[in-house]
Amino acid sequence: MLRFLPLKLVSVVFLLISSPVPYADDLEIFPDQQWLEVSPADVQVAQRKIDRLFNLSFDDSATQGVVLIKNGKLVGERYADGFNKNSYGTSWSMAKSFYAALIGISIDRGEIKHLDEPVANYLEYFNDERKDITIRDLLNMTSGLEFPEHEHENMFFSADHLNYARSVGVEKEAGLTFEYNNVNSMLLADILLQATGIAADTLLRQRIFNKIGIDDATIWQDSVGTPLTYCCIDTTARQYSRFGLLFARSGSWRGEQIISKNFVDTTFSKVWDSENSENIAHNRGYSMHWWISRHDDRAVIFNASGKFGQYIFIDRANDVVFTRITKYYPTKGSKQEWGNLKYINWLGSINFRIALAGFLDALGLIDIKGDLSTPATFESGTSKQFYDNYTAIVDAFIDIGQPIK
């Protein structure tokens, strides 16, 4: 093994020399109420690279908006017709990454001891067959909790999401199998409440949003007022990018360590890899409620990801953030209320229910915007081509951080 060491050292030195590491002054730049907007040339990025990334993204008609941040500055954005920088998107499962960050902050504050604590230390009802499941297991999607064919989509349509999550039993031994289970994430709402005495959505505003300037967002609750910690934050592409920059900067913001660098380092380590999906023909990994788009000698790219194609990509080494959201038409309120749709919420899959709701709305039998209060993505905001382009998009994003040739 020792004979390979010099080659590795040469490779590391080459990467250090060739990678455009941001100047220290650039790492001190954070957005005020508005982002500092600069030209690509100001941050040594070729316009053609941005054009390629944006064009690939807008090959998909579901794309609502994209934002590119380099060295803490906004260097490009584009929006579909009828949308602009103030238009909300919804996060879907990108929210998982936000709420996982609160676990890190609670560890930093001593409210939670460490990632390998049993969940049962905080949730008394886990003192059963679930007693060996740890907080790390929840975050890495290795809890072994029951994972039925419908993948707990029914939880989204229930009145009390946490009550649903509490009732889910064990199917496998913890720590061994990756299964993307929304119940793992919903349980964070209860863990955070028990550890801090404060609801998770309030924590999110106090401990993250207020500190990084996300002052324009809807944080969704279920019908009984519990925050939906496995999904649903509405805000703009620019605002989502602030959260991306927080992680790109190792949890630091204007001199304050909001999340410990150790927790960010742990988050951005490879736990699972070679994970495929029905939609994306690209080997991905997973760690601590973040997806891994690339983890090799060329780049380490992590992303927060939502069900219908919402993304915050992060190239931490090169201080680059790329956010893409899909077309979204917000309903009223921030507390989930189903109105007349509660009568069809037991029918079929989530995709079927969304399609049926759209059909009934088109017929005038219901008024989604008037009768419904919930995040909802319809056909116009459901990605396809973006998934087909996924590998090319990741490559184009990586290229943003490479030297101009």
The 10s digit of each residue's pLDDT in 169-203 is: 999 999 999 999 999 999 999 999 999 999 999 99
Percent of the chain at pLDDT above 90?
77
Q: How far apart are CA 170 and CA 176, in angstroms?
A: 13
Residue 398's pLDDT band, with cuts at 50, 70 and 90, is very high
Between residues 358 and 117, which one has the greater pLDDT?
Answer: 117
Residue 20's pLDDT band, with cuts at 50, 70 and 90, is low
Contacts of 78 (CB under 8 A, 6+ apart): 54, 57, 58, 65, 66
Residue 175, helix vs strand vs coil: coil
- 60-332+379-400: which CATH topology? Beta-lactamase (3.40.710)
pLDDT tens, 375-397?
989 899 999 999 999 999 999 99
Both structure tokens of 318: 């090169």
pLDDT tens, 278-291?
778 788 999 999 99
Average pLDDT for residues 131-149, to the nearest whole number? 96
Contacts of 255 (CB under 8 A, 6+ apart): none
Is the pLDDT assigned to residue 14 strictly greater than 80?
Answer: no
Is the pLDDT assigned to residue 240 strictly greater than 90?
Answer: yes
Global pTM value: 0.91
C-alpha 197, offset from chain centre: 25
The rounded radius of gyration (Å) of the Cα atoms in the chain is 21
Least confident of 121-130, 276-285, 309-318: 276-285
Segment (H or E) for 11: helix 5-18
pLDDT tens, 323-353?
999 999 998 899 999 887 777 777 777 667 7
Helices (H) and strands (E) in the chain, counts: 14, 13
Question: What secondary structure does DSSP assign to 103-142, as a single string?
Answer: HHHHHHTTSS--TTSBGGGT-GGGSSTTTT-BHHHHHTT-
Q: Are 102 and 192 in contact (CB under 8 A)?
A: yes
CA 115 vs CA 125, 288, 384: distances in Å = 19, 10, 36
Sequence letter at residue 366: I
